[in-house]
Structure 1
Amino acid sequence: MGVLSNKISREDLKPGDHIYSWRTAYIYAHHGIYVGDGMVIHFTRAAGQEMGTGTFLDKVLFSSSPAQTDTICERCGDQRKLQGVIRSCLDCFLAGDHLYIFEYNVSPVFFVAKARGGTCTIAPSDSAADVMYRAKYLLEKGFGVYNLFKNNCEDFAIYCKTGLLIESYYSLGRSSQWASWTAGVSTIMSSPLRFLTTSAGGLVLVAGSMYSVSRYVADVGVRRDVVKIPVEKLVVEVGGNEHQIVGEARVGE
């Protein structure tokens, strides 16, 4: 893997790998955990709704679940209306796009050099056995309600790999691609910075530095408001078959 691309071949995949595939002209990536035998466990809000905005944009612009087509996968069956944590074959997960691997335990220099969020983290991964156990446990128990800002597919994959959750209820999720978006927006909105530079090149340098710092401090491997939560304590029964995430709020209680 390198700074420019995280693309990987199927032959190089190992059980427990965190993989992803870009959606809609590289606007958003869908993440999951490869569990071997050509299968992926991932978290989705159903076809065309991964962004989780609850608006028409979910169907017009984005897709996270298996490919939206009338052809039913012989291996997976019809998964177009499924949501939550599901298991799909690689073909359905990729939905016709390329395969990429999410990197863990990267250096701060490497992390900053990766201009696009949602591709790596400074946090180390746990063992493949622990990752697989969490993914399969959550396939049965669920990962709460999908939320673009607090609980999305990347958050699911990062939790499976690290067991880390944000301690504060009001914090955003672990998703580094969301951190990348917010860092970009905050950089653009910081218009007073234009007064700190006398040239276009200087402004670009300041804005780029601010963007990189914002991404870095939001990374799950750097921030201090994360805690290790055993997967068995992550979910609780709520009135029958429903489950909800309990790790993000009031962890100390």
Structure 2
Amino acid sequence: MGVVSNKIDRENLKPGDHIYSWSVAYAYSHHGIYVDEGNVIHFTRGGGQEIGTGTGLDHVIGSSLLQHPLDNPCPICGDQSKSDGVISSCIDCFLSGGDHLYRYEYGVERTVFLAKADGGTCTLVSFSSKLANSPEQVIHRAIYFLRKGFGDYDVMKNNSEDFALCCKTGLQVIPAVSVGQSGQAASFQAAASAGVVLSASLFLARSSPLGSAVTVAGLAAYGTYCAYRYINDIGVRADVKEVVLEEEN
């Protein structure tokens, strides 16, 4: 664990861990809650459902869906290739082509958070500052959403990381916002915002006799990227609420 990698071996997993796996080229990560005995509860979309980003990200996400074909189903889970919503899978099905498991970090220092350039690996929120969440509580939430659902999948507002964060913290962003609490969704938008700043900075730098265009533009874009990620982290933003589970009587 640390700045370089959150990789974890299967034998070191603990019930209630928030885990994830990277897809091709580390462009997108899929998240879930480890329960026990190799079982993971996670939020996914079914085959054929549209993501709707209108970008190349749709293909990457599609390639990370559960991939067992009908003629070769998982001996533990069966065929889950068309499953959607909150599902329970073995670790191999959860990985779905990914090579390694990673454990999400909570309560990281700001410097560590900013040093991890890829979003969706850690958060500033700590349990002591919000809610005391035992593994039993985390798993209870995951099982609740397995029964009740977690709404419609949306890559920017309601994805697998949003699900795992909610299970782990009991917190969720207020509805009708442009970005949910997912760190990777914030990173996607941060990269887009940084691109705009980069273009503007390059223009200004070229127009000025002072300094290097590359240096000025790069620092401005990176600063924008970091700032956007930071202000959208669930441990900083104010538009979060505690989720109340409507238990059956």
The question of a shared fold, defined as TM-score above 0.5 by the shorter chain, is answered with yes
- Per the alignment, residue 85 of structure 2 pairs with 84
Displacement of 1:168 after TM fit? 4.7
164 and 100 in structure 1: CA distance in 2 versus 1, 3 angstrom threshold: same
1:192 aligned onto 2:200: yes
1:124 aligned onto 2:126: yes
Displacement of 1:55 after TM fit? 7.3
**Normalization by structure 2: what TM-score?**
0.86
- Per the alignment, residue 244 of structure 2 pairs with 230
- Per the alignment, residue 221 of structure 1 pairs with 235
Q: Which has the higher helix share?
A: 2
- Per the alignment, residue 130 of structure 2 pairs with none
Displacement of 1:3 after TM fit? 0.7
Displacement of 1:78 after TM fit? 1.0
Displacement of 1:96 after TM fit? 3.0
How far apart are the structure 1 equivalents of 2:96 and 2:179? Answer: 28
Displacement of 1:204 after TM fit? 1.5
SS in 1 for 2:172: strand
Q: Which amino acid aligns with 1:218?
A: N
**1:89-168, aligned counterparts within 5 Å?**
89-97=90-98, 98-125=100-127, 126-168=133-175
Structure 1 gap segments, 5+ residues each: 237-253
- For the 8 Å contact 1:35–1:41, the answer to whether it is kept is yes
Stretches of 4+ aligned residues off by more than 4 angstroms: 54-60
Displacement of 1:66 after TM fit? 2.3
Aligned pair partner of 2:216 in 187, 192, 202: 202
19 and 2 in structure 1: CA distance in 2 versus 1, 3 angstrom threshold: same
Displacement of 1:219 after TM fit? 0.3
Output one character per residue of 1:212-235: Cα deviation in whole Å (capped at 9) or x when no partner.
1110000001001111122328xx
179 and 123 in structure 1: CA distance in 2 versus 1, 3 angstrom threshold: same
Query: RMSD across aligned C-alpha pairs, in angstroms?
Result: 2.3
Displacement of 1:58 after TM fit? 8.2
SS in 1 for 2:26: coil
Displacement of 1:172 after TM fit? 1.6
226 and 59 in structure 1: CA distance in 2 versus 1, 3 angstrom threshold: closer
Displacement of 1:166 after TM fit? 1.3
**Normalization by structure 1: what TM-score?**
0.85
175 and 54 in structure 1: CA distance in 2 versus 1, 3 angstrom threshold: closer
Q: Which moved more, 1:202-211 or 1:175-184?
A: 202-211
How far apart are the structure 2 equivalents of 1:172 and 1:56? Answer: 16
- For the 8 Å contact 1:45–1:65, the answer to whether it is kept is yes
187 and 232 in structure 1: CA distance in 2 versus 1, 3 angstrom threshold: same
SS in 2 for 1:25: helix
**1:178-189, aligned counterparts within 5 Å?**
178-189=185-196
How far apart are the structure 2 equivalents of 1:58 and 1:208? Answer: 21
- For the 8 Å contact 1:34–1:40, the answer to whether it is kept is yes
SS in 1 for 2:156: coil
Q: Which amino acid aligns with 2:52?
A: T
- For the 8 Å contact 2:34–2:41, the answer to whether it is kept is yes
Q: Which amino acid aligns with 1:181?
A: F
Structure 2 gap segments, 5+ residues each: 128-132
